[in-house]
Amino acid sequence: MDEIHDFDDTVVAVFHDPSVVDDVTADLGAAGYGYEVLQGDEGIGHLDPAGQTGAGATVKRLLNVFGDQYRVLEHLNDEMERGGVVISVDSEPDAAGDAVAILEGHGGEFIWKLGAWTYTQVSE
């Protein structure tokens, strides 16, 4: 992963059991979604949780506008540090219903729909 992750028009979910990732991504691919699997140090670096560039800076700037939702990026980072996997799905928030259903169906948690100016939590 060479570039910093961009969260615009994305649905993200956390999975605590890495063994489900292949099934999740197979279902997402079959439904026509592009996705990215983020985990470990590489995933953390790709998110740039320090917020200096890329998604980190964008998310921190936007979440400062929206208040206490700043915790989204920090939570994703913490989950990866504890061995969790973050799956990011390319989808505009208004058209993310199928992606959310797939993520929830496989036990995804902390699901958020992220747009250029909107952040909507779908599940805890």
pLDDT attached to residue 46: 76
Counting other chains too, the contacts that 55-64 makes at CB distance below 8 Å and 24 or more residues apart are 55/4, 55/5, 55/6, 55/7, 56/4, 58/6, 58/7, 58/8, 59/7, 62/117, 62/119, 63/119
Q: Which residues of the chain have pLDDT under 70?
A: 1-7, 48-70, 93, 116-117
pLDDT attached to residue 79: 94
pLDDT attached to residue 59: 57
**The pTM is what?**
0.80
Distance CA 23, CA 93 (A): 23
Q: How far is CA 120 from CA 54, 72, 106, 113, in A?
A: 20, 10, 20, 5
The CB density around residue 43, as the number of other CB atoms within 10 Å, is 22
pLDDT attached to residue 2: 44
The pair of structure tokens assigned to 11 is 């649905």
Which residues, in sequence order, are bridge partners of residue 1?
none
Report CA 35 to chain centroid distance, whole Å.
Answer: 10
